[in-house]
Structure 1
Amino acid sequence: MNEDQTSMHHKLLIIGAGASGLMAAVTARDLGIDTAILDGNDRIGKKISMTGDGRCNITNESTATETDEAAALLRKYHGGQSDFPLPVLRQFGIRQTIDFFHVLGLPLTRLKEGFMYPMSLQAASVLDIFELALEDRSIPVYLNRKVVDVTVSKEHPRFTITCRTETEEQVVYTSEYLFLCTGGLTGQNAGTDGSGYELARRLGHTLVEPVPAIVQLKVQYPHLKALSGIKIQGQAHILANGEVVRSESGEIHFAEYGLSGPPILQLSRKAAFHLARGDSVTVSVDLMPGRTEEEVVEFLEMNWGTFEHRKVAESFTGFIHKKLIPVLLKEADIDQQPDLLCQDLSWRTKGVFYKILKRWDFKVTGTHSFENAQATAGGIDTRELVADTLESKLVPGLYMAGEVMDVDGDFGGYNLQWAWSSGYAAAMALGKHIFK
């Protein structure tokens, strides 16, 4: 993968040696296209090595048994055009991803909830396999090449790419076709700084302003310190200006800054977009999602009636996390009455408990930064791309793949799946164009 100074022109140049760029390079080379990769880092796949807690959640098999796998998978994706990912997912879905890595020599294993990882449970295995695949195919990878400018000509060569080296020298490459696989704004320690957005804008494309996704939420609540460290099974709803916009169930984590856990991470993109618009955003937590409001009232009344001689704090034992009980008492303004019996509860206090157990509201004040996020919501407007080929409608010969465009997936391997799917689809489309 050392640079050959005599080979500065390639049929296809791919900017970005991340997941989508690597997939596109291998696919394009297998089609017989002269392909090379440019990347600003000193090694390929730097962000891949950081995913899945160092294990690399390659994809998610939970929708693979659906009759229409692509349609089921589509529900895991979001963006300005809700149906935009479908043609790409139909070309390269979960089964194809598993088969692709098997052919490269990387068997996968399934863990909880359909999460698929390399059998070694090491992200380094994914990078090792791609390095071998690049070597097998003699694909040049020009590292430490930070792309600072791209220009387009009507004559051959069509694209001129100017890079800055680690020694601040400028190096120029040319190509007939160009793939932007530069990622979003997450994983900035891995070099994904959003520079691809600026390159696309210089070429005439529009940016849907990015916000962090799959990220923790900051909330305003007086007793956060007391809640910190508690994990509960429940349901969370995101409300924007009082209207529920999305709901998720699972393990909710309380922290000193606010809320986290899988349901919160899934909801975070909605919260981030509405906050960016200036909307009022609330997280409402349901501590007893298996019961209706009426059933909760009936349950509590029966409990308090049966054990009317017990203290109120004791009446929650067994069905509420023990560390939550003092906070519930504070919410009901009876924390200074430790000996209050169930038989002495007022209707007002009972009403507070009814509400909290089903609709415990937290005002969202923000999200953690892109540094903490696992995905970027927003990106290059997909209305400016051809859905099944990912070619630019504005610049013929320019293709995009991965997180650079306004498509983001749910927590659980779906963003990497989009990288594999879009990298493959773009390369296949180019192959069909070149070889008719």
Structure 2
Amino acid sequence: MHHTLLIIGAGASGLMAAVTAKDLGIDTAILEGNDRIGKKILVTGDGRCNLTNTSTASGTDETAALSAKFHGNRPGFPVKVLEQLGVRETMDFFYSLGLPLTHLKEGMMYPRSLQAASVTDIFELAMEEREVPVYLQHKVVEIAVSDGHPRFTVRCHTEAEEQAVFTCDFLLIATGGLTAPHTGADGSGYTMAERLGHTVVDTVPAIVQLKVQYPHLKALSGIKLQGRAHILINGEIVRSESGEIQFTEYGLSGPPILQLSREASVHLGRGDAVSVAVDLMPGRTEEEVVDFLDMHWGIFGHRTVADSFIGILHKKLTPVLLKEAGIDKQPNLLCQDLSWRAKAIFYRILKHWEFKVTDTNGYAHAQTTAGGIDTAELADGTLESKLVPGLYFAGEVMDVDGDFGGYNLQWAWSSGYAAAKAVAESMKQKDVSI
């Protein structure tokens, strides 16, 4: 079976590329190892699918603001891709498919139905309307490249354990990374790329919960609070984020932790010392916290220390703080009898409660993969391989990962669009029939 463009992977970037390519008149087909398209889309955004984020879609340089949300060994690499399809163009694209969007918080955009299935359903409909063949349960096992025509030969295993052979003039690898393995993600795109001569930057889970070493985690489990978290590498703060922080039986979670997790994951892999410091009172400076507590304890010196925290901190935090201060065996200790040592411990913990990070919660719980195909081997803006002409990449398989809040799906849409557009341009230059 021959198609002008073959796309390996029916995830977000592959689906965007297929719609774009077909709309540009390219004979396009998708090979997908799963039994349905968009399996990972279904689990994004807690099953609601955070499609993109409008937080950067204002100001004089929207692309620069958006590209700052992405990471990798070449920080500027996403710019020329995002210039082609930014946030506003992405929203217009989904409206053009008939998928209305809605805003929930902090710029996060979702389908109006708040169901991720709406996104996969609209893509299924778009594939049918455009008559794009989607070969499900076709797992690619080999890619051969020739100097003649056809350029690529792709061999697959099918559900019936038979072998299917496809040929194409242009090939797009959009297989995703290693996150959410239950959706079929297995890193096979890295293997394909390496066999074709490409380099893979070491991968680690990102946007993931952190495991920490602390003796009283079970007592803290379930606590949610508004605070500020700092990630420290070898004792130095490298990034800070604010929002709802969650304590779990294994460690820390919540949007701020997810945002910081990439730094933790990368540096743990390098053997660096990694810790997270939690600020329980981010609205006050250290001096203001000291003044506030001293005044509070002075006014209510007749109350127990435990009672003095009522209304100030989450109730479940108090017993743990008393343990940290070494006064948990003195339940009736009055504020007026607090030692300077105990006060100093409270001051420190409320502004800088540090936890040693031992690990992440792994790819199974991560939202994206940091690392991947080395973007130094890809052409800026087109995502075409510099090593194998006619080979393109899109989405998570590359060494580009975004922040929490819809940015990784934005990269999928933008890169899928840019790659398909580049194929069409290449065909024009080479005068290849579509």
Question: What's the TM-score bracket when you normalise by the shorter of the two chains?
Answer: over 0.9
Distance 2:43 2:224 in 1: 25
2:254 corresponds to 1:261: yes
**Tell me, what secondary structure is at the counterpart of 2:3?**
strand
Deviates more, 1:295-304 or 1:248-257: 295-304
2:110: which partner in 1?
A: 117
Distance 1:76 1:97 in 2: 16
In the alignment, which of 394, 398, 406 is matched to residue 387 of structure 2? Answer: 394
For residues 138-157 of structure 1, the aligned pairs below 5 Å read: 138-157=131-150
For residues 353-364 of structure 1, the aligned pairs below 5 Å read: 353-364=346-357
Distance 2:160 2:238 in 1: 49
2:242: which partner in 1?
A: 249
The C-alpha deviation readout for 1:302-349, integer Å capped at 9, x for no partner, is 111122221111222221111101110000000001111111111111
Distance 1:397 1:52 in 2: 34
Q: TM-score, normalised by structure 2?
A: 0.97
2:347 corresponds to 1:351: no
Distance 2:195 2:59 in 1: 41
1:33: which partner in 2?
A: 26
1:68: which partner in 2?
A: 61
Q: How many residues align?
A: 429
2:90 corresponds to 1:97: yes
In the alignment, which of 74, 77, 86 is matched to residue 81 of structure 1? Answer: 74
Superposed CA RMSD in Å reads: 1.0
The C-alpha deviation readout for 1:41-81, integer Å capped at 9, x for no partner, is 11111111121122111111121123211111112111111
Gaps of at least 5 residues in structure 2 are 430-434
Any runs of at least 4 consecutive aligned residues in structure 1 with deviations exceeding 4 A, and if so which? none
1:415: which partner in 2?
A: 408
Matched residue type, 1:59 = T
The C-alpha deviation readout for 1:116-161, integer Å capped at 9, x for no partner, is 1111111111111111111111111111100011111111111111
1:5: which partner in 2?
A: none
The C-alpha deviation readout for 1:393-428, integer Å capped at 9, x for no partner, is 111111100000011111111111100000001111
Q: TM-score, normalised by structure 1?
A: 0.97
The C-alpha deviation readout for 1:178-214, integer Å capped at 9, x for no partner, is 0000000012111111000000000111111111111
1:4: which partner in 2?
A: none
**Tell me, what secondary structure is at the counterpart of 1:62?**
helix
Deviates more, 1:198-207 or 1:47-56: 47-56
Alpha-carbon distance, 1:167 to partner: 2.2
**Tell me, what secondary structure is at the counterpart of 2:389?**
coil
**Tell me, what secondary structure is at the counterpart of 2:55?**
coil
Alpha-carbon distance, 1:221 to partner: 0.3
Matched residue type, 1:216 = Q
2:8 corresponds to 1:45: no
1:108: which partner in 2?
A: 101
Matched residue type, 2:248 = A
1:57: which partner in 2?
A: 50
**Tell me, what secondary structure is at the counterpart of 2:4?**
strand
In the alignment, which of 164, 185, 188 is matched to residue 181 of structure 2? Answer: 188
2:286 corresponds to 1:293: yes
2:191: which partner in 1?
A: 198
1:23: which partner in 2?
A: 16
Distance 1:66 1:105 in 2: 28
How many percent of aligned residue pairs carry the same amino acid? 73
Matched residue type, 1:286 = D
